[in-house]
Chains A and B, each alone.
Chain A
Amino acid sequence: MLFLASRLRAEGAPLPEPRTFMPEEIAGWIAEDEADMRRLRERP
């Protein structure tokens, strides 16, 4: 049932518009990404 519902929802559906992210959201990703890399470099 779930599979069927999923297929029916998806079939024929156009590709959605690419998402637009808020600049603050992107800035948050970059900060997290850089912090992860710093932690990785500081690990022995």
Chain B
Amino acid sequence: MIAAAASAEGASREVFQIASRRGWRLITTPYAVAEVTKNLAGFAAPVTATWLRLRERLVLVDDVLTIDKPAVFPVKKDRPILFSALATADVLLTLDRGDFGRLLGSRFYGLAIMTPGIWLTQERETGRQGAS
């Protein structure tokens, strides 16, 4: 979401732009929104304005802090993002290799975790995206 707000040329913004046409529902949580707001503080005002417009396209769901499955990875701050996505989404899109690097390209109890670019590539290859 930070990348989508900060750059119009990236895959993250493309996901926002084509989501409704593709029937994708973009989901986030209060924790993730707070994270974006906090980290956009150093950007120029137009980036914040863009973020406010993008945020309107997101479906806000509650943060999830627990799951009824074993989670055998270190307790880190990525827990709210990962668990909330597992509870509500089919795919977790992130560019954060610091916290999700070992999970990128894999699945966590069926939840696919990938970058927006990989998601768009896969969608195109499976024919669901069509010509752009």
B2-46 at interface with A (beta carbon < 8 Å)? 2-3, 6-7, 9-12, 14, 31, 34-35, 37-39, 42
Compute the total of residue contacts between A and B using a CB distance below 8 Å: 102
Query: In the assembled complex, how far is the CB of residue A7 from the closest CB belonging to chain B, in whole angstroms?
Result: 6
Say whether A16 contacts B117, CB under 8 Å: no
Query: In the assembled complex, how far is the CB of residue B76 from the closest CB belonging to chain A, in whole angstroms?
Result: 9
Say whether B77 contacts A33, CB under 8 Å: no
Interface size of B by CB at 8 A reads 42
B34 to chain A: which residues have CB within 8 Å?
Answer: 18
Query: In the assembled complex, how far is the CB of residue B1 from the closest CB belonging to chain A, in whole angstroms?
Result: 11
A32 to chain B: which residues have CB within 8 Å?
Answer: 95, 115, 117
Say whether A18 contacts B31, CB under 8 Å: yes
Q: Does B66 contact A (CB under 8 A)?
A: yes
B39 to chain A: which residues have CB within 8 Å?
Answer: 18-21, 26
Q: Which residues of A contact B (CB under 8 A)?
A: 2-3, 6-7, 9-11, 13, 15-21, 23, 25-26, 29-30, 32-41, 43
